[in-house]
Structure formats: structure tokens, C-alpha cells
Amino acid sequence: MDAQLVQPRASLPRTVLRQVAKAATVFVGRLTRTEEAGVVSVGDLPPAPVVDGTFQILEVLKGRAPPDGKARFFNAECLPFLAGNEFLVFLDQDHFIRGPGDGTMPLLTRYEWSYTQRWLERFRDQSRKAQ
């Protein structure tokens, strides 16, 4: 994106700011592989199936992305974790993907690209302000 074409952006909604604050890491990545990792219990939650996802890290907006690009998510998440798709990913300290209520979202198709780019630019602006 040409820097001179970027218009000033409104700040992110408060709910999104809270999601960013809660996450240890926020990055944009392309999911390249998924693999069943077994059953895991986290905190007070009952044991549930977990999937390891490998991401090609495209951009880090907060924290440090896993060096190997791997993150875990519960198989029951209501997100389409399909290889080849790009995501805005919110991770906990233990590299678990925070679910849709906590920020993680698929980046949209080329038909919705301008919407996606506006959101990413807001996250970039917020990331710069936080540094």
C-alpha cells in the first residue's frame, strides 16, 4: 500500500482494544498446515480435542510470533481453520489461539479486501502507538 494514499483512521473500538490488550501476541498469518494434536485440558476447561496449526507469519502487530509459526487451537472453535486462508491471530502466552470472541478472525476474500485492509491498517496504527 502506498504510504501517501493512506488516510487517517479512526481508532479501534474499545472491545478490540481490550482484545489486543489481553493477547500476548497478535499477528497476520497464512495457515499452511493443520494436524491433530490430541486432547488437552487448559485451566478449568474440560479436556477437548486440539489442533496444531502452522502459519506463515506475514506481519507481527504485537509481541513475538512463535518462531516455528506453530499455534494450537481447540477443534471446537467456530472458525474455519483451513490451510491456505489468512487470519488475524490473537495468541495467549502458551501459543493457544484466542477464539472469535477474543479477536482471532479470518481475513476475508478478495471480494471483501478493502474492508480487510481497513481493519489491518487500524491494527497497524494501534501497534505503532503502543510501541
Average pLDDT over residues 109-123: 64
* pLDDT of 77 above 70: no
Are the beta carbons of 103 and 23 closer than 8 angstroms?
yes
Asked if residues 89 and 26 have their Cβ atoms less than 8 Å apart, the reply is yes
CATH code of the domain occupying 22-130? 2.40.50.120
Above 70 in pLDDT, residue 13? Answer: no
Question: Rounded to an integer, what distance in angstroms lies between the CA atom of residue 27 and that of residue 47?
Answer: 27
Question: In terms of C-beta density within 10 A (0-12 exposed, 13-18 middle, 19 or more buried), how is residue 61 classed?
Answer: buried
Confidence grade of residue 78 (pLDDT, cut at 50, 70, 90): low
The structure's pTM equals 0.72
